[in-house]
Amino acid sequence: MGFQEEIKRRRTFAIISHPDAGKTTLTEKLLLFGGAIQVAGAVKSNKIKRHATSDFMEIEKQRGISVATSVMAFEYEDLQINILDTPGHQDFAEDTYRTLTAVDSVIVVIDVAKGVETQTEKLVEVCRMRNTPVIVFINKLDREGLDAIDLLDEIESKLGLTVTPLSWPIGMGQRFKGVYNLYEKKLCLFSPHSKQEVDETITITDLNDGRLDKEVGQRPADELREELETVTTVYPDFDETVYRKGALSPVFFGSAVNNFGVKELLDCFIRVAPHPQPRHAEERDVDPFEKKFSGFVFKIHANIDPRHRDRIAFVRICSGTFERNTNYYNVRTGKSMKFSNPTSFMAARKEVIDEAFPGDIVGLYDSGNFKIGDTLTEGEILHFKGIPSFSPEQFRYVNNANPLKSKQLAKGIEQLMDEGVAQLFTREDTGRQIIGTVGSLQFDVIQYRLEHEYGASCHYEPVSLHKACWVSSTKPEAIRELMQKRKKDLAQDKDGRLVFLAESAWMLRMAQENFPNVEFHFTSEL
Ligand code: G4P
């Protein structure tokens, strides 16, 4: 197969959801369709995480598992599908956000009973910033839930997405009969006990077809006709081009655990989801079809076992062919690097590969040379954009608990921050160090890893902060004024960029009003 065909047949995406909405179940069903796993229950990572986050040995075990499930690749209808896992439970971290910078599209799973929940809001915000195409799957229709129209309203208002349903539920919970697939003009019948691989479908192009009443009952059929009349007038027609620009999201309804609606979702996905897309670098846009290799590190996974200090850097390939045992240039360090064991991730299996193509994720063994955001090329100076740090939500002072080990502590903190585990801010006035994270588990992980990998110990002290915002201005005097008047609220991030530490939403608003010439940013990419 030629280079161009290899790129065109790749689909790299992430499934995102609030915990418990059904991401793991849906992932598993997709892998079953792709033949990547044979039995349900093979994708366990999230389940284990949910129960065992206070036990650090468990964290260690999970890290092993989550390397394996970080990327799951499978073949379906001649396409190579790469699913990137977005950790979503108590270990919700910046990693989760950053993974979204390495995909070309996203499927959002929403629990029909719970509607839009907080983590989904945060993740979709990142997708919107990047105009990532989004497909929505509303799950658990076998249970009672919110009215479908109300749900779509909520998705539009809370997630800021413009939606158009491509399937429509007929009842829900006990009365759930199935869905009408508007995309393929088919009736898909639900039978709760069969969990069959493929749903029973009947092609019904005309909704007045008497077979509809026969299959689902007259009342549900009439309700469906009525609802679809509203749906087709209220929502725009589906347009693939608008979807690919991230401006229109098709919505499907189903029940992942019953394998219902999943095939329709997958079949639509492979038809409409984009193949690897051009990536923006500071210097220029990089097209995947360019012959020369380029890629960037979006995630670093450390081995917690001190006897094996190696890490795996996850690289998204942006252009050209990546080859084993070939020298590549790390733009940040200026060093040439060669990889003898690059790894691909076919489902839960790791494999050494000889080559990989745009859209693929390769795992590179690393002994501490990589930082998040690093670019690899054949020599060209490129800096890929869109791998920002995001404002953390939880903050603590970090103090050295063993003065004899201060060097170890500094080194440990530096390396963990390079891995992107959390962010470090150094206060302008006192020089005190604050660690900021997205999820609270990260504090425990950092403490544990500092002790076990670096022989350093730290303790935390609470600090009441709401957000950290990167500040910039076209007028240098505006920054000078901010420095003079608000030094106690300023800090530097690990790359020396100036950050405003807001104690509350109100304080942030006041600062924005008082310093109109200063811009406050919620990500580090200004
Ligand atoms: P997550 O990765 O988003 O956190 O969700 P996960 O797939 O683990 O699903 C969370 C729970 O929801 C699981 O139940 C799962 O079986 C259930 N679930 C997923 N899809 C559906 C669906 O379509 N209908 C219904 N009724 N339930 C669904 P659990 O009790 O936590 O685990 P398990 O014992 O069933 O494995």
Q: Residue 366 is part of which domain span? A: 279-377
CA-closest residue to ligand 1 atom 11: 20
> How many folded domains does the chain comprise?
3
Say yes or no: 116 and 264 in one domain: yes
Residues 280, 421: Cα–Cα separation, whole Å: 25
pLDDT score at 349? 59
Ligand 1 atom having least distance to the Cα of 254 = 23
CATH of the domain at 258: 3.40.50.300
Residue where one domain finishes, among candidates 331, 353, 377: 377
Q: What distance lies between CA 346 and its chain's CA centroid?
A: 19
What pLDDT, in 10s, does the model give residues 418-434?
888 889 999 999 999 99
User: Tokens 């054949």 — which residue?
Assistant: 378
Say yes or no: 27 and 68 in one domain: yes
* CA-closest candidate to residue 499, choices 417, 423, 416, 415: 423
Say yes or no: 267 and 283 in one domain: no
pLDDT score at 308? 62
Say yes or no: 344 and 311 in one domain: yes
* CA-closest candidate to residue 249, choices 186, 184, 188, 166: 166
Q: Which pairing describes strands 105-111 and 186-189: parallel, antiparallel, or unpaired?
A: unpaired
Residue 411: which residues within 8 A CB-CB, separation 6 or more? 454, 456
Say yes or no: 131 and 241 in one domain: yes
Say yes or no: 435 and 489 in one domain: yes
The amino acid that residue 4 corresponds to is Q
Q: What is the DSSP letter of 405?
A: G
Which stretches of the chain drop beneath a pLDDT of 70? Answer: 36-69, 88-93, 193-199, 303-309, 346-350, 387, 526
Say yes or no: 417 and 345 in one domain: no
Say yes or no: 337 and 256 in one domain: no
323 lies in a domain? yes
Say yes or no: 117 and 133 in one domain: yes
pLDDT score at 466? 93
183 lies in a domain? no
Residue where one domain finishes, among candidates 272, 293, 323: 272
Ligand 1 atom having least distance to the Cα of 50 = 4
pLDDT score at 31? 86
Q: Give the pocket of ligand 1 (CB within 6 Å).
A: 17, 19-25, 46-47, 139-140, 142-143, 255-258
Q: Are 7 and 288 in contact (CB under 8 A)?
A: yes
Ligand 1 atom having least distance to the Cα of 143 = 26
* Ligand 1 mutation target, pool 25, 89, 109, most atoms within 8 A of CB: 25
